[in-house]
Structure 1
Amino acid sequence: MQAVDGTSTLTDQVFESVRKAIHSGELRPGQLYSVYQLAAELKVSRTPVREAMLRLAEAGLVRFERSRGFRVLRSDPKEIAEVFHLRLLLEVPAARLAAHRRDPALLQAMRAELEEMREAAAAHDEPRFMRHDAAFHRLLLQGGHNGKLVGIVDNLRDATITLGASTVDRSRSLPDIAREHEPILAALEAGDAEAVAAAMRTHIGHTGELLLAQAAAANGVPVDPDDLALIRATSA
């Protein structure tokens, strides 16, 4: 893990550093770690580490063990299924609505975000890619003129990130993900609302199924048919 650099609050930096270490596998599920150990490695006091770990515990990434430290938890397949079920329920009809209300400014902005995603993919810059991926989705949601919906979907995406769930370099590459956005934009440019909705359904459903399979494998269990049905019921 990288030492914190003072550009944001220490707690925020520790939270992000530990989250990335969990995602990368540097901190392994099931293994016991101590606050003292992390504080020394990150070159900070124990207080911001303890505060960050409490946030990670609330997010379900770690579990404290009294007087011993904390263990990294594996991603919960059911939670991933529930998040993507909600995203499909919300984003697919929102995409259809945005297609009916599309305007040249929206199309231009989405083209720019997709191009940024392609460039970030070519450079294998995952953080930059994910920023523009999120912006692409947010623009389409904003096209439906429902600010509360945008906020809810942002929270759902954040939940997936906090869980450390990602398909990058596991079940698909950054260029693969960028290409999944192309049919969405093409259908929007054509003014085909049903095609926009179908492309969004395919993209989000595919992502959810891949993450569900990864989480099940990490837990050493088969994919629960009920979890898979939760995603497929809204992505079929």
Structure 2
Amino acid sequence: MTADGSALTPLGGRRRYRDQVGDALRAALIAGELKPGEVYSAPALAARFGVSATPVREAMLDLVREGLVDTMPNKGFRVTEVSERQLDEYTQIRKLIEIPVVVGLIRTADIEQFEALRPQADEIVRAAAKGDLIGYLEADNRLHLALLAMAGNEHLVAVVADLRKRSRLFGLQELAVAGRLEASAREHISLLDALIAGDEEAVRACMEHHLSHVRTLWAS
């Protein structure tokens, strides 16, 4: 079963159970159904998701590599806890990296490259409007990392991708229900508008507001 209680869909030869279970586990983490500090065994999670323990163990190991859970020998997996201080530090590092890099894109990237990201920005808004948290985070991740990739520094993109994973926050379901997630999603459209207009100050302000807003909003 997925985080919303629905059964896992047939794979049809296109996706492995490992991937599908991993998506369901991430959804449960985002929704807060898997609690920070709690230990979960692979057999118990397998029963919950209606699959065998093997793909659950494999999916959990993927989450270990992402920093979302820790292994507990002879017990299972513990959901990592992220402190307020850690979230502040992650956000500070992201600001130091992302704001100057994205502002600098005005001088190095083409308008056509920014326009090509419109569908992803629209996808973020649609996912937020539907309350599709996994879709929201995936589209949000793609857009932010695609922007950074325009700077041509693969290591920088990898660092930010890791920070984004480690600073994942809970309670997005409540934000989606309250309609506040869609407002955050639309900030991506404003950012693209500023980039296309070549307005460095507006881009800087958008990035500062968005990163600060996300930190405050998601931690509420």
What TM-score does the superposition give when structure 1 sets the normalisation length?
0.71
1:147 matches 2:172: no
State whether residues 29 and 71 of structure 1, in contact with CA within 8 Å, keep that contact through their aligned partners in structure 2.
yes
Evaluate the alpha carbon distance shift between residue 121 and residue 68 of structure 1 in structure 2; reply closer, same or farther with a 3 A threshold.
Answer: closer
Residue type of the alignment partner of 2:174: D
Q: How does 1:147-226 map to 2 (within 5 A)?
A: 147-161=154-168, 164-165=169-170, 167=172, 169-170=174-175, 173-211=180-218, 213-214=219-220
Cα deviation 1:118-167 (Å, max 9, x = unaligned):
33333333333333322332332233333332232223223334xx5464
In structure 1, the residue corresponding to 2:118 is in which secondary structure?
Answer: helix
Between 1:85-94 and 1:44-53, the stretch displaced more is 44-53
Work out whether residues 34 and 68 of structure 1, in 8 Å CA contact, stay in contact via their aligned partners in 2. yes
Which has the larger Rg?
1
Structure 2 matches for 1:106-121, cutoff 5 A?
106-121=113-128
1:52-111 Cα shifts (integer Å, max 9, x gaps): 4445456253562x6555554543333322222221111100111101224231232133
Which amino acid letter does the alignment assign opposite residue 215 of structure 2?
G
Superposition CA RMSD, Å: 3.0
- Given that 2:36 and 2:81 are in contact with CA atoms closer than 8 Å, whether structure 1 keeps it comes out as yes
1:95 touches 1:140 (CA, 8 Å); kept in 2? yes
Q: Output one character per residue of 1:17-48: Cα deviation in whole Å (capped at 9) or x when no partner.
A: 22322322333445554332222233333333
CA distance in 2, matches of 1:143, 1:54: 31
**CA distance, structure 2, for counterparts of residue 203 and residue 194 of structure 1:** 14
Structure 2: gaps (5+ residues): none
Distance 1:148 1:30, change over 3 A: closer
What pairs up with 1:103-142 in 2 under 5 angstroms?
A: 103-142=110-149
1:100 aligns with 2:107: yes
- Once structures 1 and 2 are overlaid, which stretch shifts more, 102-111 or 200-209? 102-111
TM-score w.r.t. the length of structure 2 is 0.75
Equivalent position of 1:86 in the other structure: 93
Report if aligned partners of 2:115, 2:196 keep a CA contact under 8 Å in 1.
Answer: no
1:22 to 22, 25, 29: 29
Matched letter for residue 156 of structure 2: L
Please give the secondary structure, in 1, of the residue aligned with 2:117. Answer: helix
Structure 1 residue 117, shift from structure 2 partner: 2.7
Per the alignment, do residues 135 and 60 of structure 1 end up closer, same or farther by CA in structure 2, a change over 3 Å counting?
closer
What CA distance in whole angstroms lies between the structure 1 residues aligned with 2:187 and 2:85?
24
State the secondary structure of the residue aligned to 1:27. coil
Tell me if the contact between 1:75 and 1:165 (Cα under 8 Å) persists in the aligned partners: no
Aligned to 1:61: 69
Q: How many angstroms apart in 2 are the aligned matches of 1:102 and 1:129?
A: 25
